[in-house]
Amino acid sequence: MEIKVLKDILSANDQIAQRNRALLEKKNVFTINVMSSPGAGKTSLILETIRKLKNKVSMGVIEGDISSTIDAEKVKREKVPVLQINTGGECHLEAVMVNRALDNLPLDDIGLLFIENVGNLVCPGEFKLGEDRKVLILSVPEGDDKIYKYPLLFHLADAVVINKIDLLPYTKFDLEGFSLALKGINQKARLFQVSCTTHEGIEDWTDWILSSMQLQKRRGRKKP
Amino acid sequence: MHELAVTQSMLDLVLEEANKTGSGKVQKINLVFGELSGVVGDCVQFYFEFLSKGTPAEGASISFRKIPTQARCRECGEVFTPEEFDWSCPKCHRVGVEITAGKELYVESIEVE
């Protein structure tokens, strides 16, 4: 006997992600899921953002790594609440892991929460966490062809940050070509060019975060 | 790479659906996945054999239906399969597409005793 199911395999994860989202909305926490391959600069961009915005907004960080607390220690030095998730082998964060982490963060004191996903350009795309925005970082040394090799994450991102632009003169990275390719598969994504080493472009990026937070607040107020 | 998590979620879903109908053994799972989902069928098969041991789904076969990526041009409406390194429209040559297929990841049906 054949039984029609027609259900998304990851619906259980999506439901928990919705629960996370509801909790974060209630606590007025704006949440950004930061994704990239290993070494593209997720932690560096988060640290740069903390330094730039610490007088304007209270922040918190969830660090996702397969093992170690190296990134969490770096964030702790900036005196920001941080929680390390060690996935123990899993190549991405799942909503249930974030759910447990949220229980252990002072959400009443956080206005902007970064969730640093496990370094990977494939798997994190499938798993919603309850975030307001998905941000993808691509660093110049990785090459401009990654958008064709891993289209899903580029398609889903609300913003794409090109990091390490100080290295542009030493590579064949084609910014114009990349920008056109991104427009091709994702019309909504904002594109930022930054260097966490020279601090170039960081302000454009932090301005976008602040305006996205404002937008979200206005939308929130309109709700019945 | 995320097939272990995907397979576990699929198994949970299948067992729940089979349980709802009060049926016994699951004989076949009909799975649909899009090219963009990055799911590798062989890996799902491998994990499934391991994870389903001792459950009513043990020994079930999995049928994989792969959906190729399909895009629709936002300018002229042409529907096409994007080339490996080119997502521009083959008809009007503009860029800007809507992805209409390739992101699927669901259980279509199960066959039970």
β-bridge pairing B26-34 and B105-112: antiparallel
Rounded Cα distance between A172 and A175, Å, is 9
Q: Residue A157: pLDDT above 60?
A: yes
Segment A108-137 shows an average pLDDT of 96
pLDDT, tens digit, for every residue of A88-112?
A: 888 899 999 999 999 999 999 999 9
Nearest CA to B27 out of A114, A3, A143, A199 is that of A3
SS3 B95: coil
pLDDT, tens digit, for every residue of A21-35?
A: 999 999 999 999 999
Kindly report the backbone phi and psi dihedral angles of residue A109, in degrees, each rounded to the nearest multiple of 5, phi listed first: -105, 10
Q: Is A30 left (phi over 0), alpha (psi -120 to 50) or beta?
A: beta
| 8 Å CB contact of A10 and B38 | no
pLDDT at A222: 57
Of A1, A3, A185, the CB nearest to B17: A3
8 A C-beta contact, residue A91 and residue A118: yes
The residue type of A222 is K
pLDDT, tens digit, for every residue of A161-215?
A: 999 999 999 999 999 999 999 999 999 999 999 999 999 999 999 999 999 999 9
> Does any CB of chain A come closer than 8 Å to the CB of residue B12?
yes
Give the minimum alpha-carbon distance from A41 to chain B in angstroms, rounded to a whole number. Answer: 22
Residue the block writes with tokens 């798993």: A127
Measure Cα distances from A21 to A25, A175, B72 in Å: 6, 34, 31
pLDDT at B85: 79
Burial of B15 (0-12, 13-18, 19+ CB in 10 A): middle
Rounded Cα distance between B76 and B66, Å, is 27
Q: Where are the alpha helices (DSSP H) in B1-113?
A: 3-20, 41-51
Segment B88-99 shows an average pLDDT of 92
Q: What is the CA radius of gyration of chain B?
A: 18
Lowest mean pLDDT among A64-68, A197-201, B8-12, B29-33: A64-68
Of B37, B38, B95, the CB nearest to A180: B95
pLDDT at B109: 97
Percent of chain A having pLDDT more than 90? 91
Segment A49-55 shows an average pLDDT of 97
What is the interface pTM, i.e. ipTM, of the complex?
0.87
| 8 Å CB contact of A126 and B23 | no
Q: Strand order of the sheet with strand A59-65? A: A82-86, A59-65, A112-116, A30-35, A133-139, A159-163, A190-193
A127 contact residues in B (CB cutoff 8 A): 2, 5
Average pLDDT over all residues of chain B: 93
Q: Residue A38: pLDDT above 90?
A: yes
> Does any CB of chain A come closer than 8 Å to the CB of residue B99?
yes
pLDDT at A224: 46
Higher per-residue pLDDT: A123 or A60:
A60
